[in-house]
Structures are given as C-alpha cells and as structure tokens.
Amino acid sequence: MVVYGHKSPLMLVSFFAAVKAGLPYAPIDIAYPADRVADILEQIGRPLVISLSDEPLAADVSLAERVLGKDEVRTARMASETVSEDSWVSGDDVFYLLFTSGSTGRPKGVQMPSRCVDAFMDYFGKLFPAGPDRISFNRVPYTFDVSLFDIVAGLSAGYTLFALESECEQSMSASFEALAASDLTTWVSTPSYIEMCLADPSFNAQLLPRLDTIVLCGEVFRNAAASKLLDRFPGVRIFNTYGPTETQAVTDIEVTREVVDQSNPLPVGFLNPEVRAVIRDVETGDVLPSGQMGEVYLEGATVSLGYFGRPDLTEAVFSERTRANGETVRSYKTGDKGYLDEQGRLYCLGRLDFQVKLNGFRVELGDVEQGLASLPSVKEAVVLSAEKDGKVSHLVAHVQLADPAVEPSFKRGQQIKAELRQVLPDYMIPKKIVFHESFALTVNGKIDRKALA
C-alpha cells in the first residue's frame, strides 16, 4: 500500500493501519516528480494508494488499484474496529518499503521485514526513554530511514512527534518560532540540518529548554559542529549514529567533549549487539583486522530482505553467511569505506562507488546521469560531486549537447535544470552545468571522470 503525502498525522495513521492489516506500506513524498511516482507505482504493481496531499496524485491514477483520500481515511478511522493481532505483519512479512536512489536511474525499494523493525526498535529504545510528555523532532521526510528513529522507537515509547509544516521550513525565522514553541525533549535530524541551525546564534538551550537528547544520522557529523553543539547545549546528550537504509541505523556513540578532542573524523559508533561489522579487503574480500581500512559489511538482525522485485540487485550486495557457531546471518555489502578501532568503534570514510550523501540525501550519481541522458537535448552527461570541508556541497553536471550547433549558455543550462526537475526530485538537481564539446576518454574508452574533476 502506498501512502502519498508529506508530514501529516494521517500518514502515520495510514502506515500503522497498513501494517495492522498485514500490508507493507511505501511512503511517497509529494516533492517527487510525476515520473518517479509513476515508476514506483509501476514497480509495486497497481498498489492501493492513500493520497493525503491537498494536490492530486502526481501520476496516472490507472497505475493504482484504487486511490483513497483523506475523507475515506477519516471515515475508516471512525469505525474503530479492532484488528486481530493475527493479521498484523510479523516475522519475514515486509513492514515498509523505502525507495532510494538507484544507480541505473530507477529508484529501488528496500524491503524491511517486521522482525528487522522489531530488532531496530529494541536497539534504539535506549535513545527514547519513557517519560512524561516526551516530544521528538521528526524532521526528516518519511521517505528517508532517519525518520524511523522516532516513528518506530519514539512512538512505541509514547512520544509525541513534532514536525515542521513545509511552508514553515522555507523560513528560518518561522522554523525557529515553531521550535521555540515545540517543547522538544529529543532532536532527530541530519547533521546538515543542525549545522544550518547552528549558524544562528539563537539556536541554543534557551530556545529548546526541555531538550536532553540529540540524535544525528544520515551523513558525516563533523567535529566542528559537534564542538559547537556541546557549547550551545550543555548537559544535552548528543549521539552520532550510522546505518544505510538496507540495515537501518546500526551504530551509536555519545559524542562527548573527550570523543571530539580525541578523534577526527568522529567515529560513527559501537554496533547494535545484534549486528556485526566486518571489514573486508576491497580487492581480495579477506577479513581485515581492526585498524585496517576496507569495505564495511554488516551482518545480523536488521539486514533487510533486499530490493523489491530486483533479485539481480539484491544478489549483488546481500548474502547469507554462516558464522563460526553455525548460525546463519544475513549480510549486506555497504559500499562504505571504513575501519573498526581497538574498542570496536566503527569509522566511515566515504564511499567506494558513485553514491554520495548530499545534505543527508542519498544520491547515486548514475541516477542523475541517467536523468540527464534521458533529456532529448543531452547527448551524454557525467555528474561529479564537489566537496567543501570534507563534505559534499553540491553536484556538478558535465554535459555534451545532442545538437552541436546549439550554443551553450546560462539559459540553456537553466532549461536543462527545469527539464531535469520533471524526472528527478529537487535535491538531485546539479547546481552547476558545464558544457563540453566532447569528453576526454580513458584508455578503456570510457569517459575520463578524473579529467573533469
């Protein structure tokens, strides 16, 4: 069942209605362009769609089995029939389906089974202790796994979720006003978002007097930001966490002054006791000892089933492994570069492929390249990421136009961006477009990406 909309209580109600009825749910954000929405509906295969946006569904309704709106959800809620626990999703049943950027230009749906959600809930319960009037900042759109910290571990511990209206998100002063009135006890966001807030001197303990926990996830959390946070929020516990959508967050560490002073970059943390990180040599696949850098493999209780309807993609990165004690565990090859230290803390130092994290959003550069190449005016495109202070700041598209007679210009670039917005979400649109008459090739006849950087 697809739930279409953006940050509303009815979306959450619909998620839980789905899983109680034994159906997995897949959230789709209204910010997605029509093509992407249609692609996801096609991949799932005529799902039931609950459309909670004020705007109509951004795709042909024939791609859905049925489209239900707000009124139908409200009416169904009034009926308040209880559903027997027997029909709830459980065990290997898929609980949710999150679509993430795919390198071939099509989003891929990560299928998270119910037992993984249980394991994640148990693990992150420690960040959401029960208490009177606990309120958590559900900042990230439901389409991203970071939003699941408080949806799964928070709601189950009786937390109230606080979100910003999208109009409010556009203005920092409106956001801060809303935050000041929020009574937040727990903050969950990407490091990018909190860094943005930190640029304002009024972002401090006076603004959020009840705040006692900050949970950050989704990308690199830089020491400078950690240090500022410790200054601005004395006594507040700050946690850095890590985990791809395919396993949910699997590590955590409390970032204290001592941690900030001792390690740069910051560790992403100690592992969930139900999950193990194995570092393998990128070339040979051999398991490496602590301190040595390799590819991060994650094994254990929260490793998902794989990609919906894509056994080819699933087999490439998921496998079953037998541990020394005879136990079989599921393993996920993350594509992240990292190492474990003597204490068992994991460090992540970028990617081994063309996936980047841009302001916390996971983007496959190939996805953007395919989007560009699908435009009639573009012959070929290479997309690179630009970095600032150890973090991706934006995307740069190198484009060869289909018609060599067309004069490249700023206007032409703007037109390409406008066309690209029809096929890709806003956060994937390159900031800069550079035109080339031709691309330099490597000895293997491929476009020389290094020459463009």
Partner 1 sequence: MANGTVETRMLDLIEEVCDDEVIREERDIDLFEAGLLDSMAAIELLVGIESEFGVVIAPTAVEREEMNSVNKIIHQVEIRVQG
Cβ neighbourhood burial of 53 (10 Å; 0-12, 13-18, 19+): middle
| Distance in Å, CB of 199 to partner 1, minimum | 5
- Residue identified by tokens 């200054």 is 231
The pair of structure tokens assigned to 349 is 């130092």
The length of the chain, given as a count of residues: 453
Q: How far is the CB of 203 from partner 1 (least distance, A)?
A: 9
Smallest distance, partner 1 to C-beta of residue 393, A: 7
- The least CB distance from residue 3 to partner 1, in Å, is 26
Q: Smallest distance from the beta carbon of 201 to partner 1, in angstroms?
A: 6
Whether residue 204 contacts residue 371, with contact meaning beta carbons closer than 8 Å, is answered with no
C-alpha 424, offset from chain centre: 16
H or E segment and range at residue 197: helix 191-198
Query: For the stretch 230-265, what's the b/e string if a residue is b when 16 or more beta carbons lie within 10 angstroms of its beta carbon?
Result: bebbeebebbbbbbbbbbbbbbbbebeeebbeeeee
Buried/exposed 304-342: b ≥16 CB within 10 Å, e otherwise:
bbbbbebeebbeebbeeeeeeeeeebbbbbbbbbbbbee
For partner 1, the closer CB: 68 or 401? 401
**Residues near 328 by beta carbon (within 8 Å), at least 6 away in sequence:** 320, 321, 322
Q: For residues 61 and 406, which CB has a smaller minimum distance to partner 1 in the complex?
A: 406
What minimum distance in Å lies between the beta carbon of 419 and partner 1? 12
Shortest spacing between CB 100 and partner 1, in angstroms: 20
Helix (H, G, I), strand (E, B) or coil at 248: coil
Smallest distance, partner 1 to C-beta of residue 58, A = 20
Where on the chain is the footprint of partner 1 (CB under 8 A)? 170-173, 176, 192, 195-196, 199-202, 359, 386, 388, 393-394, 396, 410, 414, 417, 429-432
Q: CA-CA distance, 372 to 382, in Å (whole number)? A: 9
User: In whole angstroms, how far apart are CA 259 and each of 25, 225, 227, 239, 343?
Assistant: 39, 13, 10, 11, 13
First to last CA, the chain: 42
